[in-house]
Every structure is written in structure tokens, then in C-alpha cells.
């Protein structure tokens, strides 16, 4: 079995050899004998095709030399070597086919139906191929010598030819793993207890090997005079469109063409000077599209270059291709309760998506004029502005996508509300002096701000003062930490016509981190008349 690159036909022959080896180990039945015959016929068809192909290579070598009006001595030597290879191969094939004819004749020839008179004929095969009474003087021993001599001859033209084409059991890659088979020599391994139709299949397989290695040798010789033929096993249709994105009402344009690849050549491909992976003759070009400038429609025309190099007639030939493509500027979609402006030093939660990127969208964010905190879900980000304008920069997979600017608005001041006994104070009508007891000062968040950022709209009055005033003179006073206080002492001293002055000193706001921050509410005062 040969290593390296093989054509589909050579791979099929190798598979047939494995099947043949496996079938030889089975008990013989009429069904199996018939399968041996089918296998033999398939190999013979392949061999006849290979004979014609190899003869064609000789013709190509002659034609290539003929094109050169003054052929060199080297050209003539190549032709002579090719003809010698063809002659030795023909002799080897004729010898193998002579053994086939001998076995068919010894077993009674063919039937009128196209089969064989004795398809089994184990004893006849053993006597003729191994020798009577195991004298090891059968035709298979001469076949072994001829096959191995042929391999030595061919190796001078094709170094990849194996040293031996006829292997003993200890050398055969399949048989050496079987204790019963590895002790056998070539003749015993292939023809001992072997039905006649199986022996024919063995001979056809050996012929296939001879023709395969002849083809390799002739191809190498042909390369020296530029007569080697690149055969394309894979031919397929392709299309190249001017654009895969077409607006309704515009024309779609594309070119259709035939492309092909060959298993016998391994092209080297590169993109922008760097090698790319080649699978089944196709180079896989993949890169992240980017652009720095876009036109008014948000498009940027770009170009990439590739190189394909094949070894043609012993020389490297490089084909250069240039492809244009359009990079469309991704549309950044920002989803938020309010995207017109962000609130200063608040946790503004945004959801930023780029629909054009689909599943490959892997966002990261940065901000100038503030800080950006990536959220738990794809596209979620929290922006904390510290300037009057914030620019959010969006990237995906490390590649810049674009940026969005936002105005920053100040946090609206809360409304300070005073309640007495749970009711808002009416500074015009006043409060009965004897009921001025339970007082609460509240800082109420702007309703719009509270709806947008509820975690930022948590206020508390932490310090305030109250004065009981009579004829513009203080009668009593108190300072309180926290929003509520019991002013029973004021009620006990108050007279009709007095008033209570409330002065708010300090208000705090809990931010998204739960930290208390100062709130500048100015110096709000309440004058509450007592009646």
C-alpha cells in the first residue's frame, strides 16, 4: 500500500485490497466466490483504464518534446526513460495476466454463461502457485522476484516507490498482526488455501499496484519536460455577485463560472501576505471587516488581495486576485428609558445593540466624560457621567464599531415638604397651636427623575431646625437629626398668633451604590402660623 497523496482511483484500489484481504480469511461459500469474481472484474476494469492513461502520458511527453524545435539531450533521455518504464511495465503486466490465464485453463476454463468451471479450485491454485508437496517451487515465487525487481527498477525514476511490491506475512501491514499469517511467505500468504477466483483477484490487485507506481514514475518524468497534466477531479459551478445586499427596485448583478480543483496538487494560498487554510482546494479567507471613513450613505469601499501558488511543470506559478467589498457602518441602537440625556453622577442603565453583527456581537464599552460598567447581559452597560457631555465608545471582539454622544443633565432638586400630624402644612391658614406636635420634613424627588432612575431618587432630610416665634422674638427652638420630631414642648408654650419657623439644614441622597451624597437644596424655610 502506498502512502502520500493518491487519486480517487488509487484510493479505491487500496480499499479493494483491504476487502480482498478480509474475504480471504472467511469460510468459502458460493456467495463469497461470486464476490471474489466481482472484485476481480472491478480491478481489471480499473487496470485497463490506468494502462490507457499511462500510455497517454508517453504521448504527452513526445508532444511536449516535439514543440521544442531543438530538443535537448535531457529531453531525449526523459523520453527514453519513459519508454523503458512503459516497456518494463508492459512485460510485468503481461506476465501477471499470463498467470491468470494459466489458472483459468488449469481449472477448466470459462463457462458459456461467463463464469468459471471451477471457481474454487484451491488445490490447483496451491500446486501451481506454491508447488507440489510444499516444495516452494510454484509460480508465485517467480512472481515475487519479478515484482520486487520491478520495484527496484522503478525506484530510480520515482523514489516514492516502495522497496518491495511482494511482501511476506511478517512484512505485510495487515498480515503481520495475525499470528497465523505473519509466518507465511508471499506465496503462502496469497495463494495457500485460496479459491481460484480469489487468486485471480490477488493477481489483479498486484497488477494495479504495478500500474499505480508506473503512473507516479511517468508523471515525475513528464514534469521534467513540462508534459505533466493537471487533472481536475472536482469541478463545480460558482457565482460572484457585485453585492449580496440589493435594495428593492435596483438590479442584482453576478457572474457565473466553472471552478475546479485537483487532489494531485496542493496549492499554497495567502491573504494579505499571510498563509490561509486550504480545504478541498479552497482557501478559507476570513477577517474582521473594518473601516475608518464612510460615505454619506454609511458605506466604505475596501479591497483585499490574495495569492494562489501551484507547482506547474516543475515551476511555481502564482496567481494574484483582488476583491472589492463594501463595509457598511453598523447602526448602534441605544435602548433606555431616556436616551436624550444622561443624569450627572448617576447610574444610567443603557442597552446598546448593533443588529448588523448578529450573533457575533461581543460588545465592550468605554466612556470619555464618565465611566462605563459592563452589565451581565450582552449589550447592557451602566454609564456614570462626570462631565457635561459623555461619549460612549462601542467595540465588538476588540474591533471598534462606533461611538455615541450624550448630553448630561443635572439632577433635579427635590421638593421640601413639611407635614404636621401627617398632613401637609397650609402656610396661609396655619395650624392650631395646641395640635402642633408631630412634625416631619420630607425631600420629595422629581417625579420624572424618580421614574427614570428610581435607585438614584432616594432622599432624606438629615438635619433641620425649628423656632417658636412670638412678636419676632424666639420663645423656644430645637435642632433635629432625621426627618421627624415631636414638638409637644412648642405646643405647650404656644399662643394664638405665634408662628413656627422651620429651616432645613441638610439633605442627603442615596445613590445606586447605597452611598449618601450631599444634596444642594439651598436654604428652604417654612413659616407656619399658629391659631
| Structure confidence by residue, pLDDT tens digits, 60-117 | 888 878 876 667 788 888 889 999 999 999 999 999 999 999 999 999 999 888 888 8
Q: What's the pLDDT tens digit per position in 208-225? A: 999 999 999 998 888 887
Around Cβ 428, how many Cβ atoms within 10 Å?
A: 6
H helix or E strand, kind and range, residue 42: helix 30-67
Choose among 373, 383, 393: nearest CA to 343: 383
DSSP string, 194-246: --HHHHHHHHHHHHHHHHHHHHHHHHHHHHTTT-------EEEEEEEES-S--
* Eight-state DSSP code of residue 159: T
- The beta strand positions in 295-427, using DSSP E, are 299-312, 315-328, 333-335, 341-343, 348-353, 363-368, 370-374, 380-385, 389-396, 399-409, 415-420, 423-424
Position with higher pLDDT, 175 vs 241:
175
The three cell numbers locating residue 439: 412634625
State the pairing for strand pair 399-409/341-343: parallel
Contacts of 120 (CB under 8 A, 6+ apart): 28, 33, 195, 196, 197
Mean pLDDT over 337-352 rounds to: 83
Cα Rg, the chain, nearest whole Å = 48
* Eight-state DSSP code of residue 116: B
Around Cβ 188, how many Cβ atoms within 10 Å?
A: 21
Q: What's the pLDDT tens digit per position in 478-531? A: 999 999 999 999 988 999 999 999 999 999 999 989 999 999 998 888 899 998
10 Å CB burial of residue 334 (0-12, 13-18, 19+) is middle
* 403 touches 389 (CB < 8 A): no
Q: What's the pLDDT tens digit per position in 370-405? A: 999 999 999 999 999 999 999 999 998 888 888 899
Residue 266, pLDDT > 80, answer no
Predicted local distance difference test score (pLDDT) of residue 278: 85
Choose among 271, 341, 255: nearest CA to 309: 271
User: How many residues appear in the chain?
Assistant: 531
Q: Average per-residue pLDDT in the chain?
A: 84
Domains belonging to the chain, first-starting first, are: 8-223 (no CATH), 234-326 (no CATH), 333-409 (2.60.40.10), 415-529 (2.60.40)
Position with higher pLDDT, 208 vs 136:
208
CA distances from 129 to 24, 43, 514, 530 (A): 16, 20, 97, 134
Residue where the block lists cell 442603565:
349
* CA gap 356, 361 in Å, rounded: 9
Tell me if the pTM is above 0.85. no
* Eight-state DSSP code of residue 531: -
Around Cβ 298, how many Cβ atoms within 10 Å?
A: 11
* 363 touches 402 (CB < 8 A): no
CA distances from 502 to 173, 197, 442, 477 (A): 104, 118, 12, 10
The mean-pLDDT minimum among 179-193, 215-229, 327-341 falls in 327-341
* Eight-state DSSP code of residue 435: G
Amino acid at each position: 500500500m502506498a502512502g502520500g497523496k493518491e487519486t480517487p482511483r488509487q484510493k479505491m484500489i487500496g480499499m479493494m485490497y483491504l476487502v480482498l484481504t478480509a474475504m480471504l480469511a472467511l469460510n468459502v461459500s458460493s456467495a463469497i466466490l461470486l464476490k471474489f469474481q466481482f472484485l476481480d472484474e472491478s480491478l481489471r476494469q480499473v487496470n485497463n483504464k490506468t494502462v490507457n492513461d499511462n500510455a497517454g502520458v508517453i504521448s504527452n511527453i513526445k508532444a511536449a518534446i516535439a514543440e521544442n524545435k531543438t530538443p535537448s539531450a535531457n529531453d531525449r533521455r526523459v523520453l527514453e526513460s519513459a519508454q523503458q518504464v512503459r516497456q518494463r511495465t508492459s512485460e510485468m503486466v503481461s506476465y501477471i495476466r499470463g498467470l491468470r490465464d494459466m489458472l483459468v485453463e488449469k481449472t477448466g476454463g470459462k463457462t458459456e454463461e461467463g463464469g468459471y468451471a471451477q471457481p474454487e479450485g484451491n488445490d490447483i491454485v496451491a500446486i501451481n502457485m506454491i508447488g507440489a508437496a510444499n516444495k516452494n517451487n510454484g509460480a508465485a515465487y517467480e512472481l515475487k522476484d519479478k515484482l520486487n525487481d520491478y520495484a527496484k527498477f522503478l525506484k530510480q525514476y520515482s523514489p516514492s516507490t516502495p522497496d518491495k511490491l511482494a511482501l511476506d506475512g511478517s512484512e505485510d501491514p495487515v498480515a503481520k498482526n495475525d499470528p497465523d499469517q505473519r509466518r507465511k511467505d508471499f506465496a503462502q500468504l496469497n495463494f495457500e488455501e485460496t479459491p481460484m477466483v480469489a487468486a485471480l483477484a490477488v493477481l489483479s490487485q498486484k497488477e494495479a499496484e504495478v500500474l499505480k507506481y508506473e503512473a507516479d514514475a511517468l508523471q515525475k518524468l513528464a514534469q521534467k519536460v513540462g508534459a505533466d497534466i493537471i487533472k481536475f477531479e472536482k469541478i463545480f459551478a460558482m457565482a460572484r455577485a457585485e453585492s449580496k445586499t440589493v435594495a428593492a427596485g435596483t438590479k442584482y448583478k453576478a457572474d457565473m463560472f466553472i471552478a475546479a480543483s485537483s487532489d494531485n496538487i496542493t496549492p499554497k494560498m495567502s491573504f494579505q501576505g499571510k498563509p490561509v487554510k486550504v480545504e478541498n482546494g479552497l482557501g478559507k479567507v476570513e477577517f474582521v471587516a473594518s473601516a475608518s471613513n464612510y460615505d454619506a450613505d454609511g458605506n466604505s469601499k475596501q479591497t483585499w488581495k490574495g495569492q494562489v501558488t501551484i507547482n506547474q511543470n516543475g515551476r511555481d506559478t502564482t496567481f494574484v486576485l483582488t476583491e472589492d467589498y463594501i463595509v457598511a457602518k453598523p447602526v448602534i441602537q441605544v435602548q433606555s428609558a431616556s436616551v436624550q440625556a444622561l443624569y450627572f453622577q448617576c447610574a444610567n442603565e443603557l442597552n446598546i445593540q448593533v443588529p448588523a453583527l448578529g450573533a457575533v456581537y461581543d460588545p465592550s464599552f468605554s466612556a470619555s466624560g464618565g465611566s462605563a460598567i459592563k452589565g451581565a447581559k450582552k449589550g447592557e452597560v451602566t454609564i456614570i457621567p462626570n462631565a457635561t457631555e459623555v461619549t460612549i465608545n462601542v467595540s465588538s471582539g476588540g474591533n471598534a464599531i462606533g461611538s455615541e454622544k450624550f448630553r448630561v443633565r443635572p439632577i433635579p432638586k427635590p421638593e421640601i415638604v413639611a407635614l404636621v400630624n401627617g398632613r401637609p402644612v397650609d402656610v396661609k391658614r396655619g395650624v392650631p397651636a395646641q395640635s402642633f406636635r408631630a412634625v416631619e420634613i420630607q425631600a420629595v424627588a422629581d417625579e420624572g427623575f424618580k421614574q427614570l432612575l428610581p435607585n438614584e431618587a432616594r432622599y432624606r432630610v438629615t438635619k433641620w431646625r425649628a423656632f417658636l416665634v412670638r412678636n419676632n422674638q424666639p420663645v423656644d427652638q430645637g435642632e433635629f437629626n432625621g426627618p421627624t420630631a415631636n414638638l409637644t414642648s412648642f405646643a405647650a408654650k404656644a399662643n394664638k398668633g405665634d408662628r413656627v419657623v422651620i429651616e432645613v439644614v441638610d439633605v442627603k441622597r442615596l445613590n445606586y451604590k447605597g452611598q449618601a451624597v450631599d444634596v444642594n437644596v439651598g436654604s428652604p424655610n417654612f413659616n407656619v402660623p399658629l391659631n
